[in-house]
Amino acid sequence: MRNRSTSIIPLVMLLLLAAVTFWLSQVIQGRTPRGPLRHDPDYWAERMEMRRFDINGTLQHTLVTEKLVHYPDDDTTILTEPHLTYHKVPPIEVFARMGYVGRDGKEVDLVDEVKVIRHGATDDLPPTVLETRALKVFPDEEKGSSKDPVILTRGASVLHGTGFETDNSTGITVVHGRVTGTIHQNRTEKR
C-alpha cells in the first residue's frame, strides 16, 4: 500500500501545480474579449502640412489639413478640411470637408463640399472651378474621378454632369452622363 501512495503523491502535486498555474494565468491576463479590435487612434496631428517631391526633387504637391487621425486596426487615416495643391503651372487646388486615405496612401477619398480650382494660365483668365460631393484622388498619378453630380464653371460658362474624370498631367477633364450647360464666348469688339 505504501508504494502506491508514494507514487500518487507526485501526480497529485503535479495536478495541483497545473491548477494553480491556470488560476494565476487567468488572474494576471484577465478575460480578453474575443470580439473585433477597438477602433482607437494610435496617432494624430493638428494643422499639418505634407509635401511630396518628384524624382528630380521638384515639389509635386502639398497637402495641408486641420487634423489627421490614424487608426491602426484597419490602417486608415482621416483628414479634416484637407487642402491639396498641385504646384504646376497653372496650379490646381483641391478642397473638401473630409478625406479618407487608403492603406497604402495611394488613393484619397474626398467628401463633402469638394471643390477643385484650376487657376488661369494668366491673371486675366478666370479659373476653372469644379464642384461635387465626392472625389477619388490618386495624388501620385495626378488623377481623380467622381460618380457624383458635378458642376463645372469658368467665368460665366457652366456645365452640369453626372460624373467626371480628370488628369492633371494632361490637363484633360471629361464630364460624364447627360451633360447640360451654357458656354459663353469672350468677345472683344474691334473698332
pLDDT tens, residue order, the chain (191 aa): 556 666 777 777 777 777 778 777 777 776 655 555 667 788 889 999 989 888 898 898 898 999 999 988 778 899 999 999 988 888 889 999 999 998 787 889 999 999 999 888 777 888 989 999 999 998 878 889 999 999 999 988 999 999 999 888 887 888 898 888 988 886 655 55
State whether 22 and 72 are in the same domain: no
State whether 75 and 127 are in the same domain: yes
Q: Which domain holds residue 16?
A: 1-32
Instruction: Report the domain count for the chain.
Output: 2
Residues 141, 136: Cα–Cα separation, whole Å: 12
Residues 48, 64: Cα–Cα separation, whole Å: 6
Element holding 162 (H helix, E strand): none
State whether 28 and 53 are in the same domain: no
State whether 147 and 93 are in the same domain: yes
State whether 23 and 48 are in the same domain: no
State whether 58 and 132 are in the same domain: yes
Dihedral of alpha carbons 52, 44, 98, 72, sign? positive
In a domain, residue 153? The reply is yes
Task: State the CATH number of the domain containing residue 103.
Answer: 2.60.450.10
Q: Tell me the three cell numbers of residue 120.
A: 488661369
In a domain, residue 107? The reply is yes
Q: Which amino acid is at 4?
A: R
State whether 83 and 169 are in the same domain: yes
State whether 61 and 132 are in the same domain: yes
Query: Running DSSP on this structure, what letter comes out for residue 87?
Result: -
Residues 100, 150: Cα–Cα separation, whole Å: 20
In a domain, residue 136? The reply is yes
The answer to whether 68 touches 79, Cβ cutoff 8 Å, is yes
Q: Tell me the three cell numbers of residue 155.
A: 467665368
